[in-house]
């Protein structure tokens, strides 16, 4: 459809119907809204919290660390 024809068709509707068209357009805009871009990987790499545990010896083997925490918290359940 051509935009001019759509505009003319809407303009010839009664005010209540024009409001319904406007409401429907608002609904469609929210339904088909483009997803917002998430933070890129480069942005998060530069955040100060990245690498805060890099010097902890107990974190070198994360699986072992989790096992130890589970054993101490849950009485040996792994």
What confidence tens digit (pLDDT) does each residue in 9-48 have? 999 999 999 999 999 999 999 999 887 766 566 677 788 8
Three-class secondary structure of residue 26 per DSSP: helix
Does residue 58 contact residue 65 with C-beta atoms inside 8 Å? Answer: yes
pTM score: 0.43
Question: Is the confidence at residue 63, as pLDDT, over 60?
Answer: yes
CB 67 within 8 A of CB 78: yes
| pLDDT attached to residue 11 | 95
DSSP class of residue 75?
A: T
CA 2 – CA 22 distance, rounded (Å): 18
Give the distance between the most distant pair of CA atoms in the chain: 76
What angle in degrees, to the nearest 10, is found between the helix axes of 15-31 and 3-11? 140
């Amino acid at each position: 459809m051509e935009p001019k024809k759509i505009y003319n068709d809407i303009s010839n509707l009664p005010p209540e119907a024009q409001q319904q068209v406007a409401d429907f357009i608002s609904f469609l805009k929210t339904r088909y809204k483009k997803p917002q871009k998430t933070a890129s990987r480069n942005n998060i790499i530069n955040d100060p919290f990245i690498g805060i545990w890099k010097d902890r010896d107990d974190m070198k083997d994360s699986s072992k660390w989790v096992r130890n925490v589970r054993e101490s918290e849950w009485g040996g359940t792994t």
